[in-house]
């Protein structure tokens, strides 16, 4: 036990640096994914057929293919055809996670918007608001409160799914752990530490999300 603690103290700072990268790409992924996802979520409920069909197609493709494949497409496949689109691993990871999260958040947005009583829209329109104004001022603010719980779950899931970026040589938490293993051959100790850090990150995020939900009355 003492040996494990000494070993942990030696390599923990390096793993925490990797954890910081994990947090960064997950945060960027959920913020950018929320913005893109809301756009496609609105597209799903739009009366404009072209917008609706494009949104359906995007969600169908992204949700129907593995995140790892999407990551390889963005980082390896597309640049092999268009060299100008070659990007650092960090940028590729952020784009892949954002686009992937957007498809799921789009469905979260759609569900939240459609859960709002239609009378809310009718009342807003009767007061002279346009469809767009009614969505922005009446429907979306109410829908956002209902979106918070699943959005929080998406962020937590994204922290775990971000481990896939280690496959494109981005030194996130998992990749950093693998690098340490290559020089120490201490598989068990490193994987335990990596697992504990992931567990700590997701626990903290679960706590924060719960506090935010209570603050805005997400379940009211």
Spacing of C-alpha 207 from chain mean position? 17
Tell me the C-alpha to C-alpha distance, in Å, between residue 55 and each of 41, 72, 98.
Answer: 7, 23, 16
Would you state the structure tokens that stand for residue 89, as one six-digit string?
A: 């691993």
Using the predicted structure, report yes or no on whether residue 154 has a pLDDT greater than 80: yes
- Pick the residue with more confidence: 138 or 100? 100
| In the chain, domain spans | 2-216
Q: Please indicate whether residue 117 or residue 173 has the higher confidence score (pLDDT).
A: 173
Closest C-alpha among 24, 117, 111 to residue 59: 111
Mean pLDDT of 196-210: 93
State residue 88 phi and psi, 5-degree precision: -65, 155
Is the domain spanning 2-216 CATH 1.10.3720.10? The answer is: yes
In whole angstroms, give the CA distance from residue 120 to residue 131: 12
d(CA 84, CA 86): 6
Residue-wise pLDDT tens digits, 1-59: 778 888 888 999 999 999 999 999 999 999 999 999 999 999 998 888 999 999 999 99
pLDDT band at 119 (very low <50, low <70, confident <90, very high): confident
- Nearest to 109, CA basis, from 143, 142, 134, 145: 143
Tens digit of each residue's pLDDT (9 = 90 or more) over 179-194: 999 999 999 999 999 9
Q: Is 1 helix (H, G, I), strand (E, B) or coil?
A: coil
Cα(194)–Cα(16) distance, integer angstroms:
9
What's residue 218's pLDDT?
53
Q: Rounded to the nearest 10 degrees, how much is the dihedral formed by the CA atoms of 71, 199, 64, 30?
A: -70
């Amino acid at each position: 036990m003492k040996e494990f603690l000494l070993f942990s103290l030696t390599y923990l700072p390096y793993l925490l640096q990797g954890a910081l990268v994990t947090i960064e790409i997950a945060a960027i992924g959920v913020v950018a994914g929320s913005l893109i996802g809301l756009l496609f979520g609105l597209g799903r409920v739009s009366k404009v057929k072209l917008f609706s069909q494009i949104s359906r197609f995007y969600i169908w493709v992204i949700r129907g293919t593995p995140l790892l494949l999407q990551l390889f497409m963005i980082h390896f496949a597309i640049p092999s055809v268009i060299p100008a689109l070659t990007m650092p691993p960090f940028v590729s990871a952020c784009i892949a996670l954002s686009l992937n999260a957007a498809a799921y958040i789009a469905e979260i947005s759609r569900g939240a918007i459609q859960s709002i009583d239609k009378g809310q829209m009718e009342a807003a329109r009767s007061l002279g608001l346009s469809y767009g104004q009614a969505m922005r001022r009446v429907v979306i603010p109410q829908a956002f409160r209902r979106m918070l719980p699943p959005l929080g779950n998406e962020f937590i899931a994204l922290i775990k799914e971000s481990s896939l970026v280690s496959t494109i040589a981005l030194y996130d938490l998992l990749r950093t752990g693998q690098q340490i293993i290559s020089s120490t051959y201490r598989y068990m100790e490193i994987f335990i530490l990596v697992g504990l850090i992931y567990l700590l990150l997701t626990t903290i995020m679960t706590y924060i999300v719960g506090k935010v939900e209570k603050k805005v009355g997400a379940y009211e």
